């Protein structure tokens, strides 16, 4: 049978036509997908600007499905999941990014940082710590160290917190000596609870040298010296406190009253120190200490009147009225109880950073975790 070349000549145009039609179909499909992906992306941005996070997430998921290789969409999606509290989904998105072999190193570091934030927001501090430690030497190193510092403070790991604070300070990110002094005080408190007062005194002395203007080491050191019978050393600490951190001096007044009442030889120097401070900075706590140490009842009550002449203090007025007989014994009792209730909110301390109020003074705010954010003055004096 002879081969007819005419069939080939007839088939070539047909094959060419079919191939051309197929390519047109593919191009149309590709153009359609390319149009759809940006539309989904911009629709997600619009929802995000309108604070419609649920719709934004749906739009970004659609965009990611259309173009799974776009890392920016993954970052946007992961951040949205984290903001909504869907930490497990955020972790999956960022882990998927880290598993990609074609991801550039800057984006890989960014994904690692985002994954650490996911763990941190979810409260998985051990995983967050491991993720943050992998960011050493990257563009996110400073942010990672600050996050690590927060983790160690929350978990009360003061030794590691001090190491991170030293690195931050050495890298020129501000002074962290104040925080480090507090870390040493926290470690000293643990040693005191374990019965190792001598070791605690060593840490507190180190804290005083590290940050001389921080009041807490001096107050804690004075208390330890006093409890161990070293009253003169305690007095020296209080004199240093009044000179270097006078704003925190009222916090030591209760201890000074105890020292004066139990050690008669130190009563006169303590009263003199209290009066010297009160002349420069009138304070409710210092006033109360002076009234308590005054042996003459009349002069003790006059202390409140003297304070009222310079300060319109409801606390001082209440203390003065408590010693007056304004009626029957029952009436006096009712009046005193009513005044005590009225004064109680004024005797609180308030955090200057977040406004958290407490009946006791905190060096580390339980609300916003800020250090030294509580003034030593009561709410009435602010």
What's the whole-number average pLDDT of the chain? 82
pLDDT at 4: 55
Q: pLDDT above 70 covers what percent of the chain?
A: 79
Of 269, 233, 246, the C-alpha closest to 377 is 246
* CA gap 156, 167 in Å, rounded: 18
pLDDT at 317: 82
Mean pLDDT check: name the lowest of 56-60, 82-86, 191-195, 203-207: 56-60
pLDDT at 351: 92
Q: Does the pLDDT of residue 29 top 70, yes or no?
A: no
Q: Does the pLDDT of residue 245 top 90, yes or no?
A: yes
* 350 DSSP assignment: E
Q: Does the pLDDT of residue 147 top 90, yes or no?
A: yes
Query: Which CA distances in Å does 192 have to 61, 67, 215, 312?
Result: 56, 61, 19, 41
What is residue 358's three-state secondary structure?
strand
pLDDT at 339: 77
Fold topology of 14-167: 1.25.40
* Rounded mean pLDDT, 188-203: 93
**Residue with more model confidence, 67 or 294:** 294
pLDDT at 27: 44
What residue ranges do the domains of the chain occupy? 14-167, 348-382
**Residue with more model confidence, 97 or 120:** 120
Q: Does the pLDDT of residue 233 top 90, yes or no?
A: yes
* Rounded mean pLDDT, 203-223: 94
Of 41, 31, 45, the C-alpha closest to 65 is 41
Confidence category of residue 70, pLDDT binned at 50, 70, 90: low
- Alpha helix segments (H runs only) across 123-157: 125-133, 141-154
* CA gap 161, 145 in Å, rounded: 10
Placement of tokens 């009234």 in the chain: 291
Placement of tokens 């303590």 in the chain: 270
pLDDT at 175: 86
- Which residues share a beta bridge with 90? none
**CB distance 253 to 288 below 8 Å:** yes
pLDDT at 30: 43
* Rounded mean pLDDT, 32-61: 54
pLDDT at 76: 75
Angle at 364 between CA 286 and CA 351, to 5 degrees: 65
First vs last C-alpha separation in the chain: 113
Q: Which two tokens stand for residue 106?
A: 């800057």
**Residue with more model confidence, 34 or 365:** 365
What is residue 54's three-state secondary structure?
helix
Q: Which two tokens stand for residue 142?
A: 């400073």
Count of alpha carbons within 13 Å of 83, Cβ hemisphere only? 13
pLDDT at 59: 59
pLDDT at 33: 47
């Amino acid at each position: 049978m002879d081969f007819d070349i005419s069939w080939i000549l007839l088939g070539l145009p047909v094959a060419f036509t079919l191939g051309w039609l197929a390519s047109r179909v593919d191009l149309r499909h590709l153009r359609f997908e390319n149009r759809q992906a940006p539309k989904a992306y911009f629709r997600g941005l619009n929802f995000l600007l309108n604070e419609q996070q649920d719709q934004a997430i749906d739009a970004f998921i659609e965009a990611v499905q259309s173009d799974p290789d776009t890392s920016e969409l993954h970052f946007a999606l992961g951040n949205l999941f984290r903001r909504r509290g869907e930490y497990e989904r955020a972790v999956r998105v960022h882990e998927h990014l880290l598993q990609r072999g074609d991801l550039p190193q800057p984006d890989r570091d960014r994904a690692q940082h985002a994954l650490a934030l996911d763990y941190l927001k979810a409260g998985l501090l051990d995983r967050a710590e491991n993720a943050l430690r992998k960011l050493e030497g990257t563009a996110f190193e400073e942010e990672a160290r600050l996050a690590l510092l927060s983790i160690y403070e929350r978990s009360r790991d003061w030794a590691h917190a001090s190491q991170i604070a030293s690195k931050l300070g050495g890298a020129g990110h501000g002074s962290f000596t104040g925080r480090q002094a507090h870390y040493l005080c926290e470690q000293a408190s643990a040693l005191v609870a374990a019965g190792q007062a001598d070791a605690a005194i060593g840490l507190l002395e180190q804290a005083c040298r590290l940050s001389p203007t921080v009041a807490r080491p001096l107050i804690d050191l004075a208390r330890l010296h006093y409890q161990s019978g070293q009253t003169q050393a305690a007095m020296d600490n209080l004199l240093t406190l009044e000179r270097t951190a006078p704003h925190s001096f009222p916090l030591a007044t209760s201890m000074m009253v105890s020292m004066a009442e139990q050690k008669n030889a130190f009563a006169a120097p303590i009263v003199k120190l209290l009066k010297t401070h009160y002349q420069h900075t009138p304070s409710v706590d210092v006033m109360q200490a002076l009234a308590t140490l005054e042996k003459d009842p009349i002069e003790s009550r006059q202390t409140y009147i003297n304070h009222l002449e310079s300060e319109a203090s409801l606390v001082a007025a209440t203390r003065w009225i408590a010693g007056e007989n304004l009626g029957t014994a029952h009436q006096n009792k009712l009046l005193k109880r009513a005044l005590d209730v009225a004064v109680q909110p004024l005797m609180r301390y308030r955090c200057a950073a977040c406004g958290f109020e407490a009946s006791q003074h905190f060096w580390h705010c339980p609300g916003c975790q800020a250090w030294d954010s509580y003034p030593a003055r009561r709410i009435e004096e602010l």
